Amino acid sequence: MAGKILIVDDEPVVIKSCERILSPEGYAVDTASNGREAIGKLGKNSFDLVITDIRMPDMDGIELLRWIRNSKPETGVVVITGYPSQESIKEALSLRILDYLPKPFSPALLVEVTQKAMECVKAGETAETPAEAYTEEAAKQLDSIIKKFRNRPGSLIPVLQEAQELIGYLPPSVQRHIARGLKLPVSEVHGVVSFYSFFTMKPKGKHNIRVCLGTACYVKGAEEIVKKLSERLSIDVGGITDDKKFSMETVRCLGACGLAPVVVVDKDTHGSINPVKVHELLTAYE
Ligand code: FES
Protein backbone atom coordinates (compact mmCIF):
# COMPACT_ATOMS: atom_id res chain seq x y z
CA MET A 1 0.00 0.00 0.00
CA ALA A 2 1.35 3.41 -1.02
CA GLY A 3 -0.17 5.13 2.03
CA LYS A 4 -3.46 6.00 3.77
CA ILE A 5 -5.25 9.13 2.64
CA LEU A 6 -8.30 10.95 3.96
CA ILE A 7 -10.04 13.20 1.41
CA VAL A 8 -12.17 15.94 2.97
CA ASP A 9 -14.52 18.00 0.78
CA ASP A 10 -18.16 19.02 0.90
CA GLU A 11 -18.56 18.44 -2.84
CA PRO A 12 -19.29 14.73 -3.43
CA VAL A 13 -18.01 15.01 -7.00
CA VAL A 14 -14.54 16.13 -5.80
CA ILE A 15 -14.37 13.31 -3.25
CA LYS A 16 -15.42 10.72 -5.83
CA SER A 17 -12.92 12.00 -8.41
CA CYS A 18 -10.02 11.97 -5.95
CA GLU A 19 -10.94 8.47 -4.83
CA ARG A 20 -11.20 7.26 -8.41
CA ILE A 21 -7.80 8.73 -9.30
CA LEU A 22 -5.85 7.79 -6.18
CA SER A 23 -7.12 4.28 -5.43
CA PRO A 24 -5.61 2.75 -8.60
CA GLU A 25 -2.29 4.37 -7.59
CA GLY A 26 -2.21 2.02 -4.62
CA TYR A 27 -3.44 4.41 -1.90
CA ALA A 28 -6.01 3.37 0.69
CA VAL A 29 -8.53 6.21 0.44
CA ASP A 30 -11.21 7.19 2.95
CA THR A 31 -13.45 10.26 2.74
CA ALA A 32 -15.26 12.83 4.87
CA SER A 33 -17.60 15.64 3.87
CA ASN A 34 -16.49 18.21 6.46
CA GLY A 35 -13.91 18.93 9.13
CA ARG A 36 -15.93 17.49 11.97
CA GLU A 37 -16.43 14.16 10.24
CA ALA A 38 -12.74 14.14 9.36
CA ILE A 39 -11.74 14.61 13.02
CA GLY A 40 -13.98 11.68 13.95
CA LYS A 41 -12.15 9.48 11.44
CA LEU A 42 -8.71 10.80 12.39
CA GLY A 43 -9.47 10.06 16.04
CA LYS A 44 -10.15 6.42 15.27
CA ASN A 45 -7.58 5.71 12.53
CA SER A 46 -4.23 7.05 11.53
CA PHE A 47 -3.74 8.50 8.07
CA ASP A 48 -0.48 9.43 6.36
CA LEU A 49 -2.04 12.28 4.45
CA VAL A 50 -5.17 14.43 4.60
CA ILE A 51 -6.23 16.23 1.42
CA THR A 52 -8.79 18.82 2.46
CA ASP A 53 -10.80 21.61 0.96
CA ILE A 54 -10.43 24.92 2.77
CA ARG A 55 -13.97 26.25 2.38
CA MET A 56 -16.48 23.91 3.89
CA PRO A 57 -19.62 24.51 5.96
CA ASP A 58 -19.69 23.56 9.65
CA MET A 59 -15.93 23.17 10.22
CA ASP A 60 -13.60 24.46 7.53
CA GLY A 61 -10.20 23.19 6.39
CA ILE A 62 -8.20 25.68 8.47
CA GLU A 63 -9.88 24.61 11.68
CA LEU A 64 -9.29 21.01 10.73
CA LEU A 65 -5.64 21.80 9.99
CA ARG A 66 -5.22 23.43 13.42
CA TRP A 67 -6.66 20.34 15.04
CA ILE A 68 -4.30 18.09 13.07
CA ARG A 69 -1.25 20.16 14.03
CA ASN A 70 -2.21 19.87 17.71
CA SER A 71 -3.45 16.31 17.84
CA LYS A 72 -1.85 14.44 14.93
CA PRO A 73 1.24 16.51 14.01
CA GLU A 74 2.83 13.69 12.07
CA THR A 75 -0.03 13.69 9.52
CA GLY A 76 0.74 15.39 6.21
CA VAL A 77 -1.81 17.87 4.86
CA VAL A 78 -2.48 19.14 1.35
CA VAL A 79 -5.21 21.75 0.92
CA ILE A 80 -7.55 22.19 -2.01
CA THR A 81 -8.50 25.75 -2.80
CA GLY A 82 -10.19 27.77 -5.47
CA TYR A 83 -8.33 30.91 -4.39
CA PRO A 84 -4.61 30.33 -4.01
CA SER A 85 -3.94 33.96 -3.08
CA GLN A 86 -6.51 34.21 -0.30
CA GLU A 87 -5.50 34.87 3.28
CA SER A 88 -6.40 31.36 4.33
CA ILE A 89 -3.69 29.92 2.12
CA LYS A 90 -1.15 32.01 4.01
CA GLU A 91 -2.57 30.69 7.25
CA ALA A 92 -2.49 27.16 5.89
CA LEU A 93 1.17 27.62 4.93
CA SER A 94 2.00 28.81 8.42
CA LEU A 95 0.34 25.64 9.71
CA ARG A 96 2.83 23.67 7.62
CA ILE A 97 0.78 22.22 4.83
CA LEU A 98 2.90 20.21 2.44
CA ASP A 99 1.31 21.60 -0.70
CA TYR A 100 -1.92 22.92 -2.18
CA LEU A 101 -4.11 21.99 -5.13
CA PRO A 102 -5.76 24.85 -7.02
CA LYS A 103 -9.31 24.03 -8.13
CA PRO A 104 -9.97 22.70 -10.73
CA PHE A 105 -6.97 20.36 -10.84
CA SER A 106 -6.06 17.65 -13.31
CA PRO A 107 -5.71 13.98 -12.34
CA ALA A 108 -1.99 14.22 -13.20
CA LEU A 109 -1.50 17.14 -10.80
CA LEU A 110 -3.39 15.34 -8.04
CA VAL A 111 -1.20 12.26 -8.46
CA GLU A 112 2.01 14.32 -8.57
CA VAL A 113 1.17 16.45 -5.50
CA THR A 114 0.02 13.37 -3.56
CA GLN A 115 3.17 11.46 -4.43
CA LYS A 116 5.44 14.34 -3.35
CA ALA A 117 3.48 14.93 -0.16
CA MET A 118 3.70 11.23 0.67
CA GLU A 119 7.49 11.33 0.18
CA CYS A 120 7.65 14.20 2.69
CA VAL A 121 5.49 12.31 5.19
CA LYS A 122 7.74 9.27 4.88
CA ALA A 123 10.82 11.45 5.39
CA GLY A 124 9.21 12.65 8.66
CA GLU A 125 8.90 16.25 7.53
CA THR A 126 5.43 17.02 8.78
CA ALA A 127 6.51 17.57 12.36
CA GLU A 128 9.14 20.00 11.18
CA THR A 129 9.39 23.20 13.16
CA PRO A 130 9.51 26.17 10.83
CA ALA A 131 13.05 27.33 10.11
CA GLU A 132 13.51 30.74 11.67
CA ALA A 133 15.98 31.92 9.06
CA TYR A 134 13.73 30.82 6.19
CA THR A 135 11.91 34.13 5.98
CA GLU A 136 9.92 35.47 3.05
CA GLU A 137 12.97 37.53 2.10
CA ALA A 138 15.23 34.46 2.25
CA ALA A 139 12.73 32.54 0.10
CA LYS A 140 12.96 35.29 -2.55
CA GLN A 141 16.75 35.16 -2.49
CA LEU A 142 16.56 31.39 -2.79
CA ASP A 143 14.43 31.81 -5.92
CA SER A 144 17.18 34.00 -7.42
CA ILE A 145 19.79 31.34 -6.62
CA ILE A 146 17.65 28.67 -8.27
CA LYS A 147 17.11 30.90 -11.32
CA LYS A 148 20.85 31.50 -11.65
CA PHE A 149 21.64 27.77 -11.83
CA ARG A 150 18.39 26.35 -13.22
CA ASN A 151 19.45 25.47 -16.74
CA ARG A 152 22.99 24.42 -15.96
CA PRO A 153 23.94 20.76 -15.71
CA GLY A 154 24.70 19.60 -12.17
CA SER A 155 22.87 22.58 -10.69
CA LEU A 156 21.66 20.84 -7.52
CA ILE A 157 24.92 20.91 -5.51
CA PRO A 158 25.76 24.60 -6.15
CA VAL A 159 22.16 25.57 -5.34
CA LEU A 160 22.31 23.60 -2.09
CA GLN A 161 25.65 25.19 -1.20
CA GLU A 162 24.37 28.72 -1.74
CA ALA A 163 21.10 27.92 0.03
CA GLN A 164 23.04 26.65 3.04
CA GLU A 165 25.16 29.81 3.04
CA LEU A 166 22.00 31.90 2.90
CA ILE A 167 19.87 30.11 5.49
CA GLY A 168 22.55 28.39 7.54
CA TYR A 169 21.22 24.86 7.00
CA LEU A 170 18.89 22.89 4.79
CA PRO A 171 15.65 22.04 6.58
CA PRO A 172 13.02 19.99 4.68
CA SER A 173 11.04 23.12 3.73
CA VAL A 174 14.12 24.51 1.95
CA GLN A 175 14.78 21.18 0.27
CA ARG A 176 11.21 21.15 -1.03
CA HIS A 177 11.57 24.70 -2.31
CA ILE A 178 14.74 23.72 -4.20
CA ALA A 179 13.17 20.51 -5.55
CA ARG A 180 10.28 22.48 -6.95
CA GLY A 181 12.48 25.19 -8.39
CA LEU A 182 14.79 22.73 -10.13
CA LYS A 183 11.92 20.37 -11.03
CA LEU A 184 13.53 17.46 -9.21
CA PRO A 185 11.96 14.87 -6.93
CA VAL A 186 12.22 15.84 -3.25
CA SER A 187 13.76 12.41 -2.65
CA GLU A 188 16.69 13.27 -4.95
CA VAL A 189 17.39 16.55 -3.14
CA HIS A 190 17.08 14.82 0.23
CA GLY A 191 19.42 12.03 -0.96
CA VAL A 192 22.16 14.52 -1.90
CA VAL A 193 21.78 16.52 1.33
CA SER A 194 22.09 13.42 3.48
CA PHE A 195 24.96 11.95 1.44
CA TYR A 196 27.42 14.86 1.70
CA SER A 197 28.65 15.65 5.18
CA PHE A 198 29.09 19.36 4.39
CA PHE A 199 25.34 19.72 4.05
CA THR A 200 23.40 19.95 7.27
CA MET A 201 19.72 19.65 8.03
CA LYS A 202 20.08 21.04 11.53
CA PRO A 203 20.58 24.67 12.49
CA LYS A 204 24.05 25.61 13.67
CA GLY A 205 25.09 28.00 16.40
CA LYS A 206 27.11 31.16 15.74
CA HIS A 207 30.11 28.97 16.54
CA ASN A 208 29.95 25.36 15.46
CA ILE A 209 32.12 22.96 17.42
CA ARG A 210 33.20 19.71 15.81
CA VAL A 211 34.85 17.14 18.05
CA CYS A 212 36.79 14.42 16.29
CA LEU A 213 35.92 10.90 17.39
CA GLY A 214 38.24 9.22 14.87
CA THR A 215 40.50 6.47 16.22
CA ALA A 216 43.53 8.63 17.11
CA CYS A 217 41.39 11.22 18.90
CA TYR A 218 39.20 8.61 20.55
CA VAL A 219 42.15 6.80 22.17
CA LYS A 220 43.44 10.14 23.46
CA GLY A 221 40.20 10.87 25.30
CA ALA A 222 37.94 12.69 22.81
CA GLU A 223 34.89 11.22 24.48
CA GLU A 224 35.76 13.05 27.69
CA ILE A 225 35.90 16.29 25.72
CA VAL A 226 32.43 15.69 24.32
CA LYS A 227 31.19 15.05 27.85
CA LYS A 228 32.79 18.23 29.17
CA LEU A 229 31.38 20.33 26.32
CA SER A 230 27.94 18.83 26.84
CA GLU A 231 28.05 19.74 30.54
CA ARG A 232 29.43 23.21 29.98
CA LEU A 233 26.97 24.11 27.18
CA SER A 234 24.02 22.01 28.41
CA ILE A 235 23.52 20.48 24.98
CA ASP A 236 23.91 17.02 23.49
CA VAL A 237 25.78 16.17 20.33
CA GLY A 238 23.79 17.66 17.44
CA GLY A 239 22.32 20.33 19.74
CA ILE A 240 22.43 24.09 19.80
CA THR A 241 22.55 26.33 22.89
CA ASP A 242 19.46 28.37 23.77
CA ASP A 243 21.24 31.61 22.92
CA LYS A 244 22.26 30.02 19.58
CA LYS A 245 25.90 30.83 20.26
CA PHE A 246 27.22 27.27 20.09
CA SER A 247 26.31 24.02 18.40
CA MET A 248 28.19 20.77 18.70
CA GLU A 249 28.68 17.78 16.46
CA THR A 250 31.09 14.88 16.25
CA VAL A 251 33.04 13.85 13.17
CA ARG A 252 35.33 11.01 12.11
CA CYS A 253 38.94 12.08 11.57
CA LEU A 254 39.63 15.64 10.62
CA GLY A 255 42.94 14.71 9.03
CA ALA A 256 45.00 16.17 11.87
CA CYS A 257 45.65 12.97 13.84
CA GLY A 258 49.11 14.19 14.94
CA LEU A 259 47.32 16.85 17.04
CA ALA A 260 44.86 14.42 18.64
CA PRO A 261 42.52 14.96 20.30
CA VAL A 262 41.25 17.60 17.91
CA VAL A 263 38.40 20.06 18.16
CA VAL A 264 37.49 22.41 15.33
CA VAL A 265 35.53 25.56 16.12
CA ASP A 266 34.19 27.15 12.93
CA LYS A 267 37.32 26.99 10.75
CA ASP A 268 39.92 26.98 13.56
CA THR A 269 41.64 23.71 14.44
CA HIS A 270 42.59 23.20 18.09
CA GLY A 271 44.90 20.29 18.92
CA SER A 272 45.82 18.45 22.13
CA ILE A 273 42.60 19.52 23.79
CA ASN A 274 41.80 18.09 27.19
CA PRO A 275 38.77 18.57 29.43
CA VAL A 276 40.54 21.37 31.34
CA LYS A 277 41.29 23.29 28.15
CA VAL A 278 37.63 23.12 27.10
CA HIS A 279 36.78 26.02 29.41
CA GLU A 280 39.54 28.24 27.93
CA LEU A 281 38.49 27.29 24.44
CA LEU A 282 34.88 28.30 24.96
CA THR A 283 35.80 31.51 26.73
CA ALA A 284 37.79 32.55 23.67
CA TYR A 285 34.61 32.39 21.57
CA GLU A 286 32.19 33.86 24.07
S1 FES B 1 41.36 10.83 14.30
FE2 FES B 1 40.99 12.82 14.94
S3 FES B 1 42.00 13.99 13.47
FE4 FES B 1 42.29 12.00 12.79
Express each pLDDT in 115-138 by its tens digit.
888 877 876 655 555 566 677 788
State the average pLDDT over residues 180-195.
Answer: 82
- Check pocket membership of 214 for ligand 1, CB cut-off 6 A: yes
pTM metric for this prediction: 0.49
> Structural domain boundaries of the chain?
3-122, 136-195, 207-285
- Check pocket membership of 217 for ligand 1, CB cut-off 6 A: yes
Say if domain 3-122 classifies as CATH 3.40.50.720.
no
- Check pocket membership of 222 for ligand 1, CB cut-off 6 A: no
State the average pLDDT over residues 24-34.
Answer: 95
3-state SS, residue 197:
coil
Q: Return the exposure string of 183-201: e unless at least 16 CB atoms fall within 10 Å of the residue's CB, then b.
A: ebebeebbebbeeeeebbe
Whether the pLDDT of residue 85 is over 60: the answer is no
Best of 226, 257, 263, 272 for a ligand 1 pocket test (most atoms within 8 Å of beta carbon): 257
State the average pLDDT over residues 29-44.
Answer: 94
Query: Per mean pLDDT, which range of 64-73, 116-125, 128-137, 172-181 is the poorest?
Result: 128-137
Best of 210, 212, 223 for a ligand 1 pocket test (most atoms within 8 Å of beta carbon): 212
Could you tell me what percent of the chain has a pLDDT over 70? 92
Whether the pLDDT of residue 180 is over 80: the answer is yes
CATH code for residues 207-285? 3.40.30.10
Quote the CA–CA distance of 201 and 38 in Å, as a whole number: 33
